[in-house]
Amino acid sequence: MANAVVHAEELTKCYRGKKTPAVDGISFDIAEGETIGLLGPNGAGKTTLMKMICGVTPPTTGKIRVFGADPTRDPVAAKSGIGAMHQSAPYDEMLSALDNLQIAARFRGLPWRAARPWALEVAEYLGLKDALSQLVFQLSGGQRQRLQLVRALLTIPRLLILDEPSAGLDVAGRHQIERFVRWLREENGMTVIWTSHIIEELERNAQRVLVVNRGTVVRFAQPSELVREFGAAHVLVTADDAVGAKVVKEWADAAGLTAAVEDTEVRIENAQVRNVLPRLSKHCQDAGVAISGVSTVTDSLEQVFLRMTGSEG
């Protein structure tokens, strides 16, 4: 893809002493302004891939380009437009949150006087401004997580890398960060690479999802496309009471279908309403029980991800 923000071509990373590559022949392009979800089980190669994009570690073979530049050979050109929020990036625990931001600005060659107004604006939006005078070790997990985002956004980057940005946050905090990142992208045309174990987060925010497993790309597509390609349809039957649900479950078992009961709902796996309803209705009528609803439900992106990576229980 011409003018791709990130271009990877047969990218491989091998670590000494490891039998298999951490990243094995990955190729992809990320366009300007896209929000990309990076999804994979633990050990899939996500962290190694992000390190190569950030120029922290060079590839063993293959090619990686960020803004057209090699992150390890031309770090200034490649990395100057990146802002990265790393979940485990260290702080100086005995300094204040504000001091840590000043140190980060100095490390990136940014005059604090120039960076300060925007940093304080971000901190205020994230509800962190009043905590900036506190020592870092006094901050809660959620406050430390918000501070990571402020530190990544000392300037408005062209490429923002988010590594588990909502870890340790409650639902309101997660949605606050999502709204802020969406606003940044819409206002500034920012490109975002977003990793999260909360798959609904990626489903809400990513235009495409890069699914990796065992160092390789399983699929790179829109969430809806992944659900269509790898998902399945199921029948959800709602009975009037637990007795009715039990009757529906017994019918499904006898018909060789896989079904699960939760309260008065029965989920019949990999089935279609038109094939199930006539026989089920007759069975329930003969048994003297009533069903109040029958509908089709499809797999979520989380269920699709588990199927794609072989992680289904």
pLDDT-derived band at 312, boundaries 50, 70, 90: low
Rg (CA), the chain: 24
Distance, in Å, from the CA atom of 32 to the CA atom of 40, rounded to the nearest integer, reads 23
pLDDT of 81-135, one tens digit each?
Answer: 999 998 777 889 899 999 999 999 998 889 999 999 999 999 999 999 999 999 9
What average pLDDT does this structure show over 135-158? 92
In the predicted model, is pLDDT for residue 277 greater than 60?
Answer: yes
Cα angle 108, 114, 118; round to 5 = 95
Q: What is the largest CA-CA distance in the chain?
A: 79
What the chain holds in terms of domains, given with CATH numbers, is 6-228 (3.40.50.300), 232-299 (3.30.70.270)
Dihedral sign for Cα atoms in the order 61, 62, 66, 69:
positive
In the predicted model, is pLDDT for residue 141 greater than 90?
Answer: no
**pTM of the predicted protein model:** 0.82
pLDDT of residue 2: 60
pLDDT of 33-82, one tens digit each?
Answer: 999 999 988 888 999 999 999 999 999 999 999 999 999 999 889 988 99
Average pLDDT, the chain: 91
Q: Are 273 and 295 in contact (CB under 8 A)?
A: yes
Token pair, residue 68, equals 């057209």
Q: Are 151 and 128 in contact (CB under 8 A)?
A: no
The secondary element (H helix, E strand) that includes residue 23 is: strand 23-30
Residue 61: HSE in the Cβ half-sphere, 13 Å Cα cutoff? 7
Q: Which of 235, 217, 225 is nearest to 278 (CA)?
A: 235
pLDDT of residue 25: 94
Strand pairing class (159-163; 82-85): parallel
Q: For residue 129, with 0-12 CB atoms within 10 Å meaning exposed, 13-18 middle and 19 or more buried, which class applies?
A: middle
How many CB atoms lie under 10 A from the CB of residue 58?
13
pLDDT-derived band at 304, boundaries 50, 70, 90: confident
pLDDT of residue 135: 94
How many CB atoms lie under 10 A from the CB of residue 54?
18
Q: Which of 245, 273, 239, 271 is nearest to 258 (CA)?
A: 271
